[in-house]
Amino acid sequence: MIRTQTRTSSIYSADDPLAFALRPPPEESDDERQTRIAAELEAKRISDRIDDDLRQERERKKRASMQVKVRATLARSRSRPIVLVCEQPCEVAKPLFLLSSAALRSLRLFGGRFMEVHQAVCQAESGKSTLQKQFQLFCAPASLEDERDSWRAVVYFNVVRNIKRILQALDSLDLGSGASGLRPSSSTADVDDSAEIVEVENDARSGPSSEAEGVMLMLSGSAKTELATLKLRLSPLLTAESSLADHLSGGVQVGALAKRRGGGVYVRTGWQTTMTVPGKKRRHDESAGAGPSGENGRDRVQEELDKIERMLFACREDVKELWRHSVVKTLIEKRKLRLQESAEHFLNSIDRVSASDYKPSTDDILRARLQTMGIASHEFMVQVSGKSVLWHLYDVGGARGQRHTWVPYFDDANAIIFLAPVSAFDQYLEEDPKMNRINDSLQLFTMICSNELLKKVHLVLFLNKTDILKQKLNASVSVKRYIPSYGDRPNTYEAVIDYFRTHFLQVHRKNNEEHRVLYTHQTSVVDTSTTQSVIRNVRDSIFRGYLQEASLV
């Protein structure tokens, strides 16, 4: 996966972002160079070992799968994977491989520069991991119960990250001097001090890809003072964000783009085990201070979490004030501030979340956001027609430049569940600001439908995030503005979802020599009751597909 770097011009080509990221500091001394080379060799050794482990694991799985294939047909169906496909790929200039968190830790030896590249190209958020949690809830609820405590850290991380994003957006308002605005103001004399915000310009023609321009907000003196005070009071929470990111990612820190967007963290399967100490209880005494290290056997991570919990509790009134502040609301409304989709859920619940006996609810777990790194594998025993069937479920983090890495997983897949977040019609790819996310989703779906290896898989399409789509349409966000081909159709949920579904069905029809059925569902995978019933439906349809295929073998 990783090659040892020797300093040649080809390796450190200026056109190659990966090489750029790995390039040594320009004024490196001989000693530093020796240290760097030794570190790189060590990183390569670790990486090679991880590569070997991954290769062996993949071969073992493949062998197991092939063995089962020659058994009775039901046994065959017991072992083959379902693959959850990300709607949102990430553009990567160079293949970045499948990386385990251990591999990433070894890459820190490169000073974290590798992560800058990787992070800069990643974005997804179509709901795959949320659907995986719903599968877990459906098939193995006890396992979700076991890891419930570990989600506390993620919820804190989400809360703190959203606060950080808000504070960063306030930075652009220049609270400390004269007139404030997203663009510098030439005159402040006529600002009405009693008004909190005066919108002096909102150029709707600025177009979706230039949303960052076109609005200037003038703040009253009192609004500036309030916000500046809140910023100051909440600033201690910012340190909590990086420490939580560090704990959750096992030491892998976030990169440049994530910093710009308010911080991010990647995790792989099994991260939960590092966040909880089985059998250890939390102290429900917020007045007790940090307490001595190791009290009640709690480890450092737990102590850190308890500390953050106390900080959140102490700041909760300020958080509420910030969250309901009209300037913040305006920034969100004017699309100058984009928070995580779960922001409202967590910030509205700050009293509950910051309580000393807080335990994440199932809804909190479903809404908690963590970016999946690589391919996360899960196994579930599914009950079908009175039989237990083992399902392997792969939650693939999409990456345009990495699609070839999916192929080993497609090889013997039974089903693909494709998630298209239909609410994203007004969003653009981070790596390609001209690429509308719905269009990108359609392109990826075309690739899935036309892939030779997937000609026979059972295809399930989730038109996901319908709840957010409805919210946007209720708020009169115009589909036509972002997707001109939508024309003068009504800006209603029924018309919009029908339009999107028709496009996905067309893609399927054009790439359907095998006359496969496409099972389509309109979903909001954070809604447990509807999603559980969809999962039941998907389980039965996949199983029918097994039987049908088996009868042809």
Ligand X SMILES: Nc1nc2c(ncn2[C@@H]2O[C@H](COP(=O)(O)OP(=O)(O)OP(=O)(O)O)[C@@H](O)[C@H]2O)c(=O)[nH]1
Residues within the annotated binding site for Mg(2+)? 372
Smallest separation (angstroms) from Mg ion to the CB of 128: 5
**What is the rounded distance in angstroms from the CA atom of residue 329 to the CA atom of residue 478?**
20
Q: Give the binding range for Mg ion (CB under 5 A) out of 22-30, 177-185, 216-224, 369-377.
A: 369-377
* 424 contributes a contact to ligand X by CB under 6 A: no
Asked if 231 contacts 185 with a C-beta cutoff of 8 angstroms, the reply is no
Whichever of 90 and 219 has its CB closer to ligand X, that residue is 90
* 126 contributes a contact to ligand X by CB under 6 A: yes
Taking CB under 5 A as the criterion, the residue among 342, 372, 466, 524 binding Mg ion is 372
Whichever of 40 and 395 has its CB closer to Mg ion, that residue is 395
Q: What is the DSSP string of 240-286?
A: HHHHHHHHHTTTPPP-HHHHHHT---EE-TTGGGGT--TTPPPP--G
Whichever of 249 and 372 has its CB closer to Mg ion, that residue is 372
Q: 100 contacts which partner out of Mg ion, ligand X, none, CB within 5 to 8 A by kind?
A: none
Taking CB under 6 A as the criterion, the residue among 36, 98, 114, 127 binding ligand X is 127
Whichever of 129 and 302 has its CB closer to ligand X, that residue is 129
Look up residue 299 and give its two tokens: 């480890």
* 526 contributes a contact to ligand X by CB under 6 A: yes
* 468 contributes a contact to ligand X by CB under 6 A: yes
* 427 contributes a contact to ligand X by CB under 6 A: no
* 128 contributes a contact to ligand X by CB under 6 A: yes
Asked if 550 contacts 77 with a C-beta cutoff of 8 angstroms, the reply is yes
Largest CA distance in the chain: 83
* 129 contributes a contact to Mg ion by CB under 5 A: yes
Question: 487's torsion region: left (phi>0), alpha (psi -120 to 50) or beta?
Answer: left
Residue 352's identity, in one-letter code, is R
Smallest separation (angstroms) from Mg ion to the CB of 335: 25
Residue 381's identity, in one-letter code, is M
The residues, ordered by sequence, that sit 6+ positions from 391 with a Cβ below 8 Å of its Cβ are: 81, 82, 139, 379, 380, 381, 382
* 51 contributes a contact to ligand X by CB under 6 A: no
Which spans in 108-150 are helix H?
A: 113-121, 128-139, 141-146
**What is the rounded distance in angstroms from the CA atom of residue 67 to the CA atom of residue 444?**
32
* 106 contributes a contact to Mg ion by CB under 5 A: no
* 162 contributes a contact to ligand X by CB under 6 A: no
Smallest separation (angstroms) from ligand X to the CB of 448: 15
Whichever of 79 and 531 has its CB closer to ligand X, that residue is 531
Whichever of 161 and 310 has its CB closer to ligand X, that residue is 161
For the chain, the distance separating the N- and C-terminal CA atoms, rounded to the nearest angstrom, is 38
Q: 47 contacts which partner out of ligand X, Mg ion, none, CB within 5 to 8 A by kind?
A: none
**For the chain, how are helix, strand and coil distributed in percent, rounded to 5?**
55, 10, 35
Q: Which of 128, 162, 8, 182 is nearest to 377 (CA)?
A: 128
Give residue 360's Cα distance to chain centre. Answer: 19
* 276 contributes a contact to ligand X by CB under 6 A: no
Spell out, one character per residue from 302 to 341, where the chain touches ligand X: x when CB under 6 A holds, - when not: --------------------------------------xx
Asked if 216 contacts 324 with a C-beta cutoff of 8 angstroms, the reply is no
Return residues touching ligand X (CB under 6 A). Answer: 86, 124-130, 340-342, 366-367, 369, 371-372, 397, 464-465, 467-468, 524-526
